[in-house]
Structure 1
Amino acid sequence: MAWPLEPILTRFQTLALGVLVALTVVLPTLTAASLFGALGVSGVAIGFAFKDIFQNLLAGLLILITRPFRIGDQIVSGEHEGTVEDIQVRATLLHTYDNRRVVIPNSELYTNWVIVNTAYNWRRLAVTVGIGYGDDSAQAKRIILDTLAGVEEIRSDPAPAVLVRELADFSVNLEVRYWIDPPIRREVVESQDRVLEALKPALIAAGIDLPLPTQQVLFHDQTEETDGDRIRQREGWPARAENPRSRAALTQRSETP
């Protein structure tokens, strides 16, 4: 659990006062001037030696005051993602989704970006569905929206939306956007699974193509009559004095009696 700020400051003040009193008892010749002079010289050395510790301590206090995230929030920081397990003065403990603990220094969390996935009650997700170029995108949108209406975990307000996002190599990619509540990681993964499981049979039943990556390889003299004729073809090799005849021309010549 997070430490309250006021007890922490009171504890440090009491500790510092106790150290000063103990020094005056052990060393009666120690005066206030010599003590503060020694503290000034040694304070610089200590400051350099414990720079990272003090930086993490100050960052921890600022995190406890500003509260950009709380215990139980799911955050992303750099390569780490998980649930905030504890916010200590020096570091924050993160419980990852694969059941590991990550100790992140507070200075890293305070000076770098942090994504708080559970800061709000709702979260928008998106999955991509590719349809064929010969399919009606408006029909596909209607089918997708009707299918999403039957998935219980998806919120009706804000309403789902389907957008054409890309004319890809072999498909027209539609981005399916929807909102869930609560926005925790488990619900994110499970809702994406349920949405895709529902969309696949619905689109196939409506005759919407879900194309796979395909490639078609043609020889240069199989596409047009001019292909293979390096003097007349529109693209390909540069022209030269002696050009091999196209396959179509050779075939036509062989069939001529």
Structure 2
Amino acid sequence: MNNFVENYKLYIEGIVFLIMGFTAVSAIVKIVSRILPKKFSDTRKLIITKIIKYTLNLFVIFVALNIMGVNLKVLLGAAGILSVAIGFASQTSASNLISGLFIWSERPFKVGDSIIVGDTTGDVLSVDLLSTKLRTFDNLMIRIPNETLMKSQITNISYFDIRRVDLKIPLSFSEDLKRVEKLLNDVVDKNLLCLDEPKPLFIVQGFFDFSINIQFSFWVRKENYLKTKNKIQIDILNKFREEGINHPYPKRIIQTEEGRA
């Protein structure tokens, strides 16, 4: 009976220490997050605080088990055997972990950036030790293993403050290109979200069967990219209609000979 009461007290003390320990760890992590240098990116801060959190929580668990009278030598021995068994089955996890550390040190993107990985485009929600999570523009959460990221081409469309908008416009062979260029520049000049520098580009890309294809490019701040691109395309369409500039379309002339069977 005495042993039961004594063990019961140890278990209570261990559980209380566990609760207090986890609470203290959360407070420490918050303090560390606040005192980290401002020059650290959100991604670096996130990884540092997670490493501290996992390490301290593991320490709290071992101390709590020791208070409860658990033989840690036996536990560590069993954990060692288990870790060997898991190690053979977790080579991918180890690869993801190492890849995560490389991503953290290289910093090709940070939390909040918009990136393109393969066919996936989205905002970076978090960079964890094993994976990186994105939120796509249609509000889906995508988890990408860090090993996959390391092997993929990553396009960071938020890295620079400004972006170039490229519009592909087919024109009829009868159109005056100088006049079209002036109309396009006028449309951009009237939009306050378009930047004065760098200057817009008007490039003839080539001559095709039914059209002359041009590229018209202008610059905007990255946060205005989509709405400005959409607005400029609508304004160009309306301007072309006002000025009588028509979209080219394929035409075929069929000749028939009368009197032949």
What TM-score does the superposition give when structure 1 sets the normalisation length? 0.69
Check conservation: 1:204, 1:210, Cα contact below 8 A. Answer: no
Query: What residue in structure 1 maps to residue 217 of structure 2?
Result: 177
Q: CA deviation at 1:134?
A: 1.2
Of 146, 150, 155, which residue of structure 1 is paired with 2:186?
Answer: 146
Q: CA deviation at 1:119?
A: 0.4
Q: In 2 relative to 1, CA 131–11 (structure 1 residues): closer, same or farther, beyond 3 Å?
A: closer
The letter for the 2-side match of 1:190 is K
Of 161, 180, 191, which residue of structure 1 is paired with 2:201?
Answer: 161
User: Which blocks of at least 5 consecutive residues in structure 2 are unaligned?
Assistant: 1-41
Query: What residue in structure 1 maps to residue 240 of structure 2?
Result: 203
The letter for the 2-side match of 1:160 is P
Summarize the alignment of residues 104-143 of structure 1 with structure 2, pairs less than 5 Å apart. Answer: 104-143=144-183
Check conservation: 2:47, 2:127, Cα contact below 8 A. Answer: no
Check conservation: 1:145, 1:161, Cα contact below 8 A. Answer: no
Q: In 2 relative to 1, CA 203–113 (structure 1 residues): closer, same or farther, beyond 3 Å?
A: same
Check conservation: 1:84, 1:95, Cα contact below 8 A. Answer: yes
The letter for the 2-side match of 1:68 is P
Instruction: Output the CA distance in 2 between the equivalents of 1:196 and 1:137.
Output: 18
Aligned-residue sequence identity (percent) comes to: 24
- In the alignment, structure 1 residue 76 sits paired with structure 2 residue 104: no
Structure whose CA Rg is larger: 1
Check conservation: 2:124, 2:135, Cα contact below 8 A. Answer: yes
Query: What residue in structure 1 maps to residue 229 of structure 2?
Result: 192
Query: What residue in structure 2 maps to residue 243 of structure 1?
Result: none
Check conservation: 1:75, 1:115, Cα contact below 8 A. Answer: yes
Check conservation: 1:75, 1:114, Cα contact below 8 A. Answer: yes
Q: Deviations over 1:11-65 (max 9, x none)?
A: 559959x97x98xx8487x9xxxx7xx96x9876543211011111122222222
Instruction: Output the CA distance in 1 between the equivalents of 2:50 and 2:247.
Output: 62
Range that drifts further, 78-87 or 190-199: 190-199
Q: In 2 relative to 1, CA 10–142 (structure 1 residues): closer, same or farther, beyond 3 Å?
A: closer
User: Which blocks of at least 5 consecutive residues in structure 1 are unaligned?
Assistant: 220-246, 252-257
Higher helix share: 2
- In the alignment, structure 1 residue 66 sits paired with structure 2 residue 106: yes
Query: What residue in structure 2 maps to residue 5 of structure 1?
Result: 48
Summarize the alignment of residues 25-64 of structure 1 with structure 2, pairs less than 5 Å apart. Answer: 26=71, 45-64=85-104
Range that drifts further, 156-165 or 135-144: 135-144
Partner-residue secondary structure (3-state), 1:86: strand
Summarize the alignment of residues 224-243 of structure 1 with structure 2, pairs less than 5 Å apart. Answer: none
Check conservation: 2:47, 2:129, Cα contact below 8 A. Answer: no
Instruction: Output the CA distance in 2 between the equivalents of 1:152 and 1:171.
Output: 31
Q: In 2 relative to 1, CA 215–151 (structure 1 residues): closer, same or farther, beyond 3 Å?
A: farther
Q: In 2 relative to 1, CA 90–215 (structure 1 residues): closer, same or farther, beyond 3 Å?
A: same
The letter for the 2-side match of 1:85 is L
Q: In 2 relative to 1, CA 194–7 (structure 1 residues): closer, same or farther, beyond 3 Å?
A: closer
Q: Deviations over 1:121-157 (max 9, x none)?
A: 0111111222211111122112211221112211110
The letter for the 2-side match of 1:197 is I
Instruction: Output the CA distance in 1 between the equivalents of 2:47 and 2:136.
Output: 25
How many residue pairs get matched?
A: 213
Partner-residue secondary structure (3-state), 2:122: strand
Partner-residue secondary structure (3-state), 1:84: strand
Q: Deviations over 1:67-118 (max 9, x none)?
A: 2110000011112111011111111111111111111111111221111100
Partner-residue secondary structure (3-state), 1:189: helix
Instruction: Output the CA distance in 2 between the equivalents of 1:46 and 1:179.
Output: 52
